[in-house]
């Protein structure tokens, strides 16, 4: 069965002492049966977005095979200014990056940062996809800036589900993942508001793949692990 994980990272984290080199992360993904992984370099998050983006493209190209396909995920930091961000995003598209992950909490920028008003529409116009984990109000702000045509993948916590389900379900381009949902009941609750839009992400190596995987009913697995991801994968030019 096809199995898509929308959030995997590799590299060095200055904030958490854990094993996160690419061979180890790849072994975790393969052991769990993941066949498609959206991969991000921690260098791009904590040090240099441009260098991290270039590295993850190389890693994905060199390691994708018939058992598992790696899709590169890039990032940029709005605090670096609009010219720098436009340069990074254009270079990323030239390299083949179409999935762009935002880190407002880690990089300490606001969801309504003016640079996003320029860069996110550009990502949308070029057929990109946005990934972001933040509080529901911030996610809604980013959805509005990116526009209706740009899919957005997000992990939202079960304890605030009454907020984000009502706030975000009117946006047909929002795809919540099951990563921060605790218990089968919370997945069922979210699925009522987001039919055919719940997808899978693990945040490996920071999270255990088995944790969100264990929340799924057998009859949910095919939809959440692959079928619901189909519109996003087509936009990412992966349609196998």
Domain extent listing, the chain: 4-235
CA distance 236 to 94: 14
What band does 213 get if pLDDT is binned at 50, 70 and 90? confident
Phi first, then psi: give them for residue 134, nearest 5 degrees: -160, -175
b/e sequence 191-225, b meaning 16+ C-beta within 10 Å: bebbeebbbbbbbbbebebeebbebbeeebeebbb
For residues 205-216, give the mean pLDDT.
88
Percent helix, strand and coil across the chain, each to the nearest 5:
50, 15, 35
The burial of 118, by beta-carbon neighbours within 10 Å (0-12 exposed, 13-18 middle, 19 or more buried), is given as middle
DSSP lists the bridge partners of residue 41 as 10
CA distance 74 to 89: 8
Closest CA to 132 of 109, 163, 158, 159: 109
The beta-strand segments (E) located in 17-171 are 36-41, 69-74, 99-102, 129-132, 152-155
What band does 183 get if pLDDT is binned at 50, 70 and 90? confident
| Mean pLDDT, the chain, whole residue set | 94
Is residue 185 pLDDT above 70, yes or no?
yes
Q: Which residues contact 205 (CB under 8 A, 6 or more apart)?
A: 8, 9, 10, 18, 19, 20, 24, 25, 28
Classify 115 as helix, strand or coil: helix
**By the 8 A CB rule, do 9 and 24 touch?**
no
Closest CA to 171 of 200, 199, 201, 141: 141
Instruction: Select the CATH number that applies to the domain covering 4-235 from these four: 3.20.20.70, 3.20.20.140, 1.10.390.10, 3.30.1360.120.
Output: 3.20.20.140
Is residue 192 pLDDT above 60, yes or no?
yes
For residues 63-81, give the mean pLDDT.
96
What share of the chain in percent tops pLDDT 70?
99
What are the tokens at 118?
């320029």
DSSP lists the bridge partners of residue 163 as none
pLDDT in tens, 105-154: 999 999 999 999 999 999 999 999 999 999 999 999 999 999 999 999 99
Element holding 236 (H helix, E strand): none
Residue written as tokens 């590299």? 11
Q: How much is the pLDDT for 240?
A: 57
Is residue 20 pLDDT above 70, yes or no?
yes
Q: How much is the pLDDT for 239?
A: 63
Q: How many CB atoms lie within 10 A of CB 62?
A: 10
For residues 36-65, give the mean pLDDT.
97
For residues 9-14, give the mean pLDDT.
93
């Amino acid at each position: 069965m096809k199995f898509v994980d929308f959030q995997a990272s590799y590299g060095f984290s200055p904030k958490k002492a854990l094993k996160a080199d690419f061979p180890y992360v790849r072994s975790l993904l393969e052991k769990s049966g993941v066949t498609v992984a959206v991969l991000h370099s921690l260098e791009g998050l904590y040090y240099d977005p441009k260098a991290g983006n270039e590295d993850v493209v190389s890693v994905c190209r060199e390691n994708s095979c018939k058992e598992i396909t790696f899709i590169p995920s890039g990032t940029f930091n709005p605090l670096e200014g609009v010219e720098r961000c436009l340069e990074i995003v254009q270079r990323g598209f030239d390299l083949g990056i179409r999935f762009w992950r935002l880190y407002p909490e880690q990089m300490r920028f606001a969801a309504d940062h003016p640079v996003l008003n320029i860069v996110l529409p550009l990502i949308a116009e070029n057929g990109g996809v946005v990934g972001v984990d933040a509080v529901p109000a911030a996610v809604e702000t980013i959805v509005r800036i990116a526009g209706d045509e740009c899919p957005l993948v997000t992990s939202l916590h079960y304890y605030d589900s009454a907020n984000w389900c009502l706030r975000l379900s009117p946006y047909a381009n929002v795809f919540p993942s099951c990563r921060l949902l605790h218990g089968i009941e919370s997945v069922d609750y979210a699925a009522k508001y987001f039919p055919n839009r719940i997808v899978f992400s693990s945040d490996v190596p920071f999270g255990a793949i088995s944790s969100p995987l264990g929340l799924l009913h057998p009859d949910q697995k095919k939809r959440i692990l692959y079928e619901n991801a189909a519109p996003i994968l087509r936009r990412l030019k992966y349609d196998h």
